[in-house]
Amino acid sequence: MNQELEIGQIVAFPKASRELEKYVMDELGRYKKQVESKLSTFEQLAKRYSEDPGSKERGGEYQVNRNDKTWDRPVQSPVEQNLFCRGQQQIFTAHHL
């Protein structure tokens, strides 16, 4: 019995309102200040707040190879490409994409 099945999907991500975007940026700024003032570690905050299933349980860490400019998942954005220009243990300010 020959049958053909065609499957497709459309994926759309809703754009956040300006208020929500400001809230998220403010939260990220607070996390950065907590780490810089040593009130929390980056690892603690990542485990508590991150929504990334690939790194949350590892405290936000990814396996990065600076020589090959690769990490344990494909580079997906200009921000991620910029990671290879940063130094270790460096926190930079979140910005809009």
3-state DSSP percent of the chain in helix, strand and coil, to 5: 40, 5, 55
Structure tokens at 17: 């309102």
Enter the pTM of the model.
0.59
In a domain, 6, yes or no: no
Provide CB contacts within 8 A for 70, sequence distance 6+.
64
Q: How many domains does the chain fold into?
A: 1
Residue 94 lies in a domain: no
Note the pLDDT tens digit of each residue in 27-86.
989 999 999 999 999 899 999 998 887 778 888 877 766 666 666 666 666 656 666 665
Range of the domain at 40: 18-85
User: Which residues does residue 70 pair with via DSSP β-bridges, in sequence order?
Assistant: 65
